[in-house]
Chains A and B, each alone.
Chain A
Amino acid sequence: MFVIEIANVNIGIDNKYPYLEKLCKDFIVEKDPLFTVSSTEDEIDESIKNSKLLHTNSRGYYESLCVYRKIAQEMVAYDGFLMHGAVIEKDGKGYLFTAPSGTGKTTHTKLWKELYNAEYINGDKPIIRLIDGEFYACGTPWRGKECFGKNAMVKLHALCFIERDVNNSIRKLSAREVLLRVFNQLLLPNDDVSDNYYGLIDQLLSNIPCYLLRCNMDEEAAKVAYEGMK
């Protein structure tokens, strides 16, 4: 049992396998948790069964997935939720890039790092949290296979959906276009918190501009994205 702090929320984790504690080491604090999560062996079995991964991972790895899912559900009570995507910080602003796996979020955000010295907040599964009327993108121990990210949070400036294309272009999306895309990238909530959850999504999409970036893998893609959203 140990406590981590994500998005300014202290969370107790009652783990069965050592993997979780190693994964979370940059986020461990000596504080009292607001809530505590754990997963059962049955839930771990279920997670292994549903896994699309071809390589074999330890039970501890699957425990970490179960535990994170629970954390994300509990976070809704604190105005936080999980969104699949890569968050980078440039000029103190957070940019969240999202797309179906394999589209090239990492490839694109690496360009921002090389070109603009932008920093990864989280490469895969950030928590977005509303604090005092502002949305923050927050680092978590769950940061994707490249392990890009750190224990930090940044004010969310823009949300960007990525599609591959031959040429680079960016445009703002209408609410309708965003709604057709965004729920594929979110972990949908349990019944008892869904009211608060969809209220949060409403506020997010009403306050944070959303863009569609069509891009290739050249440096120019990052320039087009940055100029279009800064």
Chain B
Amino acid sequence: MKLKKGLIVRKIANEYMLIRTGKNANAKEMIMLNKVSAFILSEMKKDTDKDKLLKAVLDKYEIDEATAEKDLDKIIAQLNELGLVE
């Protein structure tokens, strides 16, 4: 599982955004992210899976595993729904 080509995570004016670059760039498709989801999406630039992502989140943030997994499931579901991962 990884972010589709042309999608980048950028910090702009201290906020995180998911941006589609290149020919298909479209202002309406830009998504504002919170810090944790920006981190997760950055990890998805390379091919990964849910277990690896969960481990990365637990290593980086002080959060209990059950909550982290629930949030991660939600983010992955949203990314799939929006067709942003492959």
* A75-B71 Cα distance, complex, nearest whole Å: 41
Give 13 new A-B contacts, CB below 8 A, not counting A179-B32, A180-B32, A183-B27. Answer: A176-B32, A178-B13, A179-B12, A179-B13, A184-B27, A194-B8, A194-B19, A194-B21, A194-B25, A198-B12, A198-B19, A201-B12, A202-B12
Nearest-Cβ distance from residue B24 to partner chain A, whole angstroms: 10
A178 CB contacts on chain B under 8 angstroms = 13
Seen from chain A, the residues whose Cβ lies within 8 Å of a Cβ on chain B are 175-176, 178-180, 183-184, 186, 188-191, 194, 198, 201-202, 205-206
B10 CB contacts on chain A under 8 angstroms = 198, 202
Contact with A along B1-14 (1 / 0, CB 8 A): 00000101011111
B8 CB contacts on chain A under 8 angstroms = 194, 198
Nearest-Cβ distance from residue B18 to partner chain A, whole angstroms: 11
Q: Which of B11, B21, B22, B26 contacts A202 (CB 8 A)?
A: B11
* A107-B6 Cα distance, complex, nearest whole Å: 39
* A201-B11 Cα distance, complex, nearest whole Å: 10
B49 contacts partner chain A, Cβ-Cβ < 8 Å: no
Are B27 and A179 neighbours in the complex by a CB distance under 8 Å?
no
Q: Which of A188, A189, A205 contacts B13 (CB 8 A)?
A: A205
A-B interface pairs (CB < 8 A), number: 49
Query: Nearest chain-B residue to A184 (Cβ)?
Result: B27
* A65-B18 Cα distance, complex, nearest whole Å: 29
Are A189 and B21 neighbours in the complex by a CB distance under 8 Å?
yes
With an 8 Å Cβ cutoff, the count of chain B residues facing the other chain is 19
B17 CB contacts on chain A under 8 angstroms = 179
Nearest-Cβ distance from residue B57 to partner chain A, whole angstroms: 23
* A186-B21 Cα distance, complex, nearest whole Å: 13
B30 CB contacts on chain A under 8 angstroms = 179, 183
A202 CB contacts on chain B under 8 angstroms = 10-13
Nearest-Cβ distance from residue A74 to partner chain B, whole angstroms: 16
* A178-B27 Cα distance, complex, nearest whole Å: 13
B15 contacts partner chain A, Cβ-Cβ < 8 Å: yes
B14 CB contacts on chain A under 8 angstroms = 175, 206
B26 CB contacts on chain A under 8 angstroms = 188
Are A188 and B27 neighbours in the complex by a CB distance under 8 Å?
yes
